[in-house]
Structure 1
Amino acid sequence: MPNTKRDYRTNLSVNALVFLDKKEVACTISDISITGAQLEIHPQPHFKNAMMLAEFIEIGDEVDFSVEEMHFDGKIKVVRKEIKNDKLYLSIELDDLFFGLENLAYKRKVYRTSHRMSGLIIMNGKSYEAVSQNISANGLTATIFEEVDIINGAELTINFYDPDVNGKARVIWHKTESEKTLIGLEFIQLMEPVKGIATFKI
Structure 2
Amino acid sequence: MKLELPRSFRKDLHLHGLIFHNGEERSIIVKNLSITGLLAELDQQKGAENDIKDIFNSRQSSTLVDIFIPSMRLAGEMEVVRADSKKNKLLIALEFKTVSYDVEDFIYKRKVYRKRMPGPGRILLNGNFHPFTAVNVSVDGLMILLNKRITIEETDEKAYFEFINLGLTGEASIVWTDYPHENETLIGLRYELLKQGELSGLPIFVNR
Deviations 1:115-160 (A, max 9, x none): 1222111122211111111100001011112221123332211111
Counterpart for residue 77 of structure 1: 79
Counterpart for residue 189 of structure 1: 193
Q: 1:87 aligns with which of 86, 89, 93?
A: 89
SS in 1 for 2:13: coil
Does residue 162 (structure 1) correspond to residue 165 (structure 2)? The answer is yes
Does residue 25 (structure 1) correspond to residue 26 (structure 2)? The answer is yes
Task: Measure the CA separation in 1 of the matches of 2:52 and 2:29.
Answer: 18
Seen in structure 2, the aligned counterparts of structure 1 residues 48 and 94 have a Cα distance that, compared at 3 Å, is: closer
Shift of 1:47: 8.8
Task: Measure the CA separation in 1 of the matches of 2:46 and 2:40.
Answer: 18
Q: Structure 2: which 5+ runs fail to align? A: 1-6
The structure 1 segments of at least 4 consecutive aligned residues displaced by more than 3 Å after TM superposition are 45-48, 56-60, 99-106
RMSD of aligned residue pairs (Cα, Å)? 2.8
Task: Measure the CA separation in 1 of the matches of 2:142 and 2:118.
Answer: 10
Task: Measure the CA separation in 1 of the matches of 2:163 and 2:106.
Answer: 30
TM-score, normalisation: structure 1: 0.83
Task: Measure the CA separation in 2 of the matches of 1:124 and 1:82.
Answer: 55
Counterpart for residue 3 of structure 2: none
CA contact (8 A) 2:157 2:174 kept: yes
Q: Structure 1: which 5+ runs fail to align? A: none
Task: Measure the CA separation in 2 of the matches of 1:88 and 1:77.
Answer: 16
Shift of 1:23: 1.5
Task: Measure the CA separation in 1 of the matches of 2:161 and 2:90.
Answer: 40
Corresponding letter in the other structure for 1:77: E
Task: Measure the CA separation in 1 of the matches of 2:51 and 2:183.
Answer: 50
Where does 1:121-200 land on structure 2 (aligned, <5 Å)?
A: 121-150=123-152, 151-176=154-179, 177-191=181-195, 194-200=199-205
Counterpart for residue 111 of structure 2: 109
Task: Measure the CA separation in 1 of the matches of 2:103 and 2:183.
Answer: 34
Corresponding letter in the other structure for 1:152: T
Corresponding letter in the other structure for 2:185: T
Task: Measure the CA separation in 2 of the matches of 1:104 and 1:199.
Answer: 11
SS in 2 for 1:191: strand
Corresponding letter in the other structure for 1:174: T
SS in 2 for 1:12: strand
Counterpart for residue 13 of structure 2: 12
SS in 1 for 2:118: coil
SS in 2 for 1:14: strand
Deviations 1:148-192 (A, max 9, x none): 112333221111122122221112222222332111111122225
SS in 2 for 1:55: helix
CA contact (8 A) 2:173 2:192 kept: yes
Where does 1:49-64 land on structure 2 (aligned, <5 Å)?
A: 49-58=50-59, 61-64=63-66
